[in-house]
Amino acid sequence: MLTLSHLSKSFGTMLAVDDVSFTVKSGEILGLIGQNGAGKTTTFRMILNFMASDTGTILWKGRAFTAADYDQLGYLPEERGLYPKMTVEQQILYFAQLRGRSIADIKPQIDEWLVRFGVKGKRTDKIKDLSKGNQQKVQLIATLIHQPELIILDEPFSGLDPVNAELLEEGILWLKEQGSAIIFSSHDMTNVARISDRIVMLRDGQVVLAGTIDEIRNQFGRTKLFLEAPLARETLANINGVSRVTQHGQRFELTLADETVGKTIFDLATQNGYILEFSQQAPTLDEIFRMKVEEGHV
Which is nearest to 2 in space by CA: 96, 98, 75, 73?
73
With CA atoms as reference, report the closest residue to 188 among 215, 166, 220.
166
pLDDT digits 0-9 by tens, 12-59: 999 999 999 999 999 999 999 998 889 999 999 999 999 999 999 999
Q: Which CATH number fits domain 221-281: 3.30.70, 3.90.320, 3.30.310, 1.10.760?
A: 3.30.70
* pLDDT classification of 162: cutoffs 50, 70, 90: confident
Report d(CA 234, CA 167) in Å as an integer. Answer: 45
What whole-number percentage of the chain has pLDDT above 90?
Answer: 59
What's the whole-model pTM score? 0.83
Domain residue spans in the chain? 2-217, 221-281
Q: What is the DSSP string of 152-179?
A: EEESTTTT--HHHHHHHHHHHHHHHHTT
Is it true that 2-217 and 221-281 share their CATH fold? no
The CATH superfamily label for domain 2-217 reads: P-loop containing nucleotide triphosphate hydrolases (3.40.50.300)
Whether residue 76 is predicted with pLDDT greater than 90 in this model: the reply is no
State the alpha helices, DSSP H only, in 11-108. 40-47, 67-70, 88-98, 103-106
